[in-house]
Amino acid sequence: MAQLIIVSNRVAIPEKNAKPRAGGLEVAVKAALKHKSGIWFGWSGKVATRTKIATQRVIHDGITYITLDLSKEDHQEYYNGFTNRVLWPILHYRVDLAEFSRRDLSGYLRVNDHFARELHEVLGPDDLVWVHDYHLMPLAKALRELGHKNRIGFFLHIPCPPPEMLTALPNHERLIPSLCEYDLVGFQTGDDAFNFSRYLTRECGLHSRDFNFVVADRTIRIDVFPVGIDTAAFGQLAQRSVRLPFVKRVIKSLNGRALIIGVDRLDYSKGIPQRLSAFELFLQTQPDWRGKVTYLQIAPKSRTEIPEYADMEQEIGSAAGRINGAYGEADWTPIRYINRAYSHTTLAGLYRAARVGLVTPLRDGMNLVAKEYVASQNPDDPGVLVLSRFAGAAHECKAALLVNPYDPDSVAAAIGQALSMPLAQRRERHDALFRVLSHNDIQHWADRFLAALEREPRALSQLEQMPSVGS
């Protein structure tokens, strides 16, 4: 019987008696497997300390989880090296931060080959394969080389920059065209899809008709699938979570002040230093709000072994301390800066309590925090989303206050506008946002992608015959 196999860098095997998690790829996987039997395949998150690399198989709630450990060398070269120090910065338009080594590229390709060999053992001829994110771009090529002709789809969760930046990637001509081995390549926004299509046209000599490219005897389809959230369920969660003892304590500690909230992984793509500068400018230019508003920035640490992240952590901590020192009073701290993670349940309650959601990344594939903030709001008295125009979510969330995160004046003005916005306008904006997010929820996203992947391409005779990659 044909099944769906979802492949991602990390796989979270459910623990016995553990509460279900509400975030990230896990929600997407469960939405995709809701009406299909299938497998979730990928790295366990463990680095093996022994010679033999373990493969684990667990069945839970009808889903088979197959996970692989990585060796210390593979983890260093594939994960810490190529994916996080080369692909992540370049795909986020930060070529200046990329640190390339041929050894890391070799490790990246080696791990993808290892994934393919392990997947080869369980992959049936009619199985559908859905590969997620930049860690696994060459996986389809490795599977094709093992003889698999399955329908294989790929979805990039982060941005795809224009070819002028993609070509800054050393050995790009080896890596980027390997995406042509997929039958369907999905992106968050039309800009991302267009950037990739331009690369194929400019660097590979391919041309498209309606985003269909013919490569040798195969057709690759490029399309846009903006990822969603479980909008209704998250709204219900927020309604309950605002009554949690911890959330109630936070609300009480505000002493009636308006709450601004930002929630981001500690990463240079999130624009937290620029956001702090904008908040400082807001306090300078709109002094009537001093003592009446508190900005809570939650920023869990990530990739602490990479020096740039440690430097950024110090920069942000220093900026928050300086602003609090300059503007704070004995009974009021303008910024609460927290370097720890909270559960989605707790965050949902904090989102609902916040008058303003401040989501201003310098570049983001989608940014689900923006959508979660909207879903969490009380529709009778909603808060206002201030959103970077460089987040993928901005393409759907047009009723938010869209800002340029590089322009502190515009962000500061938007904070003031959000705090002062009349109730009728807040309701109107929230209603427009909620309707969009309800239509394109996580289930709709998964169903659309899989329907497109299962759909056979038009016959080659119906498309212009075009050269293959490298011709």
Which tokens in the block code for residue 350?
């904090």
pLDDT band at 52 (very low <50, low <70, confident <90, very high): low
Predicted local distance difference test score (pLDDT) of residue 465: 45
pLDDT tens digits, one per residue of 300-339:
987 766 777 888 888 999 999 999 999 999 999 999 999 9
CB neighbour class for 378 (10 Å; exposed up to 12, middle 13-18, buried from 19): middle
**Helix runs in 205-306, H state only:** 231-241, 245-253, 272-285
Q: Does pLDDT of 186 surpass 50?
A: yes
Q: How many CB atoms lie within 10 A of CB 251?
A: 18
Predicted local distance difference test score (pLDDT) of residue 35: 75
The H or E element that residue 27 is part of is helix 24-32
d(CA 451, CA 138): 23
Lowest mean pLDDT among 109-118, 263-272, 458-467: 458-467
d(CA 449, CA 411): 35
* Residue in the structure block whose two tokens are 């020096």: 307
**Stronger pLDDT, 50 or 461, i.e. the higher one:** 50
Which tokens in the block code for residue 9?
């860098």
Predicted local distance difference test score (pLDDT) of residue 401: 98
d(CA 283, CA 291): 10
Q: Does pLDDT of 16 surpass 70?
A: no
Which residues neighbour 419 within 8 Å (Cβ) at sequence distance 6 or greater?
Answer: 258, 260, 289, 293, 355, 356, 384
Q: Does pLDDT of 51 surpass 80?
A: no
pLDDT tens digits, one per residue of 22-40:
456 777 787 888 777 799 9
The beta strand positions in 71-211, using DSSP E, are 128-132, 152-155, 184-187, 208-209
Q: Are 184 and 452 in contact (CB under 8 A)?
A: yes
Q: Which residues are catalytic?
A: 157, 364
